Amino acid sequence: MGKVKFNSPLVEMEGDEMARVLWQWVRDQLVLPFVDVELKRFDLSIENRERTDDRVTLEAAQAARAHGVSLKCSTITPDRARQQEFGLSRLYPSPNGTVRNVLDGTIFREPVICPNVPRLVPHWSKPVVIARHAFGEQYRAKEIVVEGRGTVKLVFEPTDGGEAVTQTVHEFNGGGVALGLFNTDESIRGFARACLNFGLQRGYPVYFSHKGTVLKQYDGRFKDIFSEVFGEFADAYREAGLVYEPRLIDDMVAFSLKSSGGYLWACKNYDGDVQSDYMAQGYGSAGLMTSLLMSPDGRCIETETAHGTAVRHYRQYQRGEATSSNPLATIYAWSRALWHRARLDGTPDGMAFAETLERTCIDLVEAGTMTRDLASLMGARHPFVSAQVFVQRAAAELKSRLG
């Protein structure tokens, strides 16, 4: 069996803990034995981020932009406890935020539906795609701890020397905290255009969730720009029998629980982070959620594992115990990156390999080979396998199919 040849490189970003272990198993057993692809590797482990003062994250993001297709493993964003655990010199920002800010664009998270796996929300029979704006918000916020009495102000100083605009945020009589968020019209417009294009291509209605009743100017700006951009798509949506609607996020959450799926939910950055995790559990597992970031022009694509680093499973792994972490999200990060690389390069054999890899893994699950998270949905006595065994069986079946 000859390897499938890819003409251009992938930018690979390794992560932390059990997610990193799964990443290496998938790469070394399900990808590299079958494909010939150059990997531009970057180690985004928390230890290497400390060694490089986080320069490695920016370098990885710049490489992702230069080469067009990248994929990223889950990484640690340290809090105070993890700072102490790893002896970090500072609290490093989210690597996801750094990479996404360089690439800009929108993250599309979509569940993998295994027909035989019961869903926690049984009537979710069709996918819900969470479109998450990937710029600004909490991931580029400025925050301060207020130590005593004083005033926090929001100030805009025009570059052209015009009159500054100042608003008092709060007059503190004692300690507290303050936070500054921002976004740009250009990025919001790219977000809206990406969502509306995606909805049209997939035949999905699009809903943008906001809190415009409270953040009248901030969320109101998002709402206005979405409405403006939708003007470019209105005729095409009407012909396709599709709709676009802005909805209060409270109403959208209630609607999502009652619906059967089959729509795109456009969320602001942090809202999308939360809602995609909630959706993943509703469909069965965080291991069943795919994640794809696309730049506004569609040139740059980054696939990710949408779950965390699985620290509890990593502790078991360190003790030499078999773990049953679900590797499907990791497998799909690789398969979707390979598929897009092949699509951009015009190599159909690469696209076919990526599709075969995905089909092989879904067929295994449908045949009853699954990790603990999925087996528990089937019933208390349903057998399950370790993550390592699942990857090994998938590799054997893939070899047989490609033989």
Query: Is residue 173 part of an annotated ligand binding site?
Result: no
Whether 196 is in a domain gets the answer no
Q: What stretches of 36-116 show up as alpha helix (H) in DSSP?
A: 46-51, 55-67, 80-86, 95-103
Query: Is residue 356 part of an annotated ligand binding site?
Result: no
Query: Is residue 98 part of an annotated ligand binding site?
Result: yes
Least confident of 77-91, 93-107, 165-179: 93-107
In 225-254, which positions are buried (b, 16+ CB within 10 angstroms) versus exposed (e)?
bbeebbeebeeebeeeebebebbebeebbe
Query: Is residue 149 part of an annotated ligand binding site?
Result: no
Q: Please indicate, yes or no, whether residues 74 and 172 belong to a single structural domain of this protein.
A: no
Q: What is the mean pLDDT of residues 57-81?
A: 96
Percent of the chain topping pLDDT 90? 76
Name, in order, each residue with C-beta under 8 angstroms of 132's C-beta and a sequence gap of 6 or more.
Answer: 106, 107, 108, 109, 267, 268, 269, 271, 272, 273, 276
Query: Is residue 376 part of an annotated ligand binding site?
Result: no
Picking from 152, 181, 210, the residue at the C-terminal end of a domain is 181
Whether 150 is in a domain gets the answer yes
Q: Please indicate, yes or no, whether residues 48 and 92 belong to a single structural domain of this protein.
A: yes
Half-sphere exposure for 84 (CA within 13 Å, toward CB): 2
Q: What is the mean pLDDT of residues 164-190?
A: 95
Q: What is the mean pLDDT of residues 318-324?
A: 94
Separate counts of helices (H) and strands (E) for the chain: 14, 16
Q: Please indicate, yes or no, whether residues 151 and 45 belong to a single structural domain of this protein.
A: no
Instruction: Give how many domains the chain has, as a whole number.
Output: 2
Whether 285 is in a domain gets the answer no
pLDDT score for 342: 95
What is the extent of the structural domain holding 176? 141-181
Q: What is the mean pLDDT of residues 52-80?
A: 96
* Predicted confidence (pLDDT) at residue 281 exceeds the cutoff of 90: no
Task: Return the HEC string of 159-213.
Answer: CCCCCCEEEEEEEECCCEEEEECCCCHHHHHHHHHHHHHHHHHHCCCEEEEECCC
pLDDT score for 239: 96
Q: Quick one: pLDDT band at residue 388, thresholds 50, 70, 90? A: very high
Picking from 125, 155, 181, the residue at the C-terminal end of a domain is 181
Tokens linked to 6: 């890819």
- Closest Cα partner for 326 from 15, 20, 116, 22? 22
Q: What is the DSSP letter of 139?
A: G
Query: Is residue 315 part of an annotated ligand binding site?
Result: no
Whether 104 is in a domain gets the answer yes
pLDDT score for 185: 95
pLDDT score for 263: 96
Q: Please indicate, yes or no, whether residues 163 and 74 belong to a single structural domain of this protein.
A: no
Alpha-carbon gap, residue 216 to 137, rounded angstroms: 16
Q: Please indicate, yes or no, whether residues 105 and 145 belong to a single structural domain of this protein.
A: no
Query: Is residue 132 part of an annotated ligand binding site?
Result: yes
Of 202 and 360, more confident: 360
pLDDT score for 115: 83
Tokens linked to 147: 């130590």
User: From the centroid of its chain, how far is CA 381?
Assistant: 32
Query: Is residue 99 part of an annotated ligand binding site?
Result: yes
Q: Quick one: pLDDT band at residue 258, thresholds 50, 70, 90? A: very high
Q: Please indicate, yes or no, whether residues 22 and 106 belong to a single structural domain of this protein.
A: yes
Count CB atoms within 10 A of the CB of residue 207.
22
Q: Please indicate, yes or no, whether residues 101 and 146 belong to a single structural domain of this protein.
A: no
Query: Is residue 127 part of an annotated ligand binding site?
Result: no
pLDDT score for 1: 62
Q: Please indicate, yes or no, whether residues 171 and 85 belong to a single structural domain of this protein.
A: no
Half-sphere exposure for 288 (CA within 13 Å, toward CB): 26
- C-alpha R_g of the chain: 22
* Predicted confidence (pLDDT) at residue 105 exceeds the cutoff of 80: no
**Do β-strands 4-5 and 10-14 pair in parallel, antiparallel, or remain unpaired?**
unpaired
**Average pLDDT score, the chain:** 93
What CA–CA distances, in Å, run from 248 to 35, 187, 212, 220?
46, 21, 7, 11
pLDDT score for 247: 96
CATH number of domain containing 28: 3.40.718.10
Q: Please indicate, yes or no, whether residues 88 and 145 belong to a single structural domain of this protein.
A: no
Q: Please indicate, yes or no, whether residues 66 and 19 belong to a single structural domain of this protein.
A: yes
* Predicted confidence (pLDDT) at residue 339 exceeds the cutoff of 80: yes
Whether 195 is in a domain gets the answer no
Cβ contact 209:266 at 8 Å: yes
Q: Please indicate, yes or no, whether residues 102 and 146 belong to a single structural domain of this protein.
A: no
Q: Please indicate, yes or no, whether residues 156 and 67 belong to a single structural domain of this protein.
A: no
Picking from 127, 161, 181, the residue at the C-terminal end of a domain is 181
Whether 1 is in a domain gets the answer yes
* Predicted confidence (pLDDT) at residue 365 exceeds the cutoff of 70: yes
Of 138 and 170, more confident: 170
pLDDT score for 97: 82
* Predicted confidence (pLDDT) at residue 267 exceeds the cutoff of 90: yes
Whether 240 is in a domain gets the answer no
Token pair 């990790």 is found at: 371
Query: Is residue 109 part of an annotated ligand binding site?
Result: yes
Whether 277 is in a domain gets the answer no
* Predicted confidence (pLDDT) at residue 327 exceeds the cutoff of 90: yes
Count CB atoms within 10 A of the CB of residue 83.
16
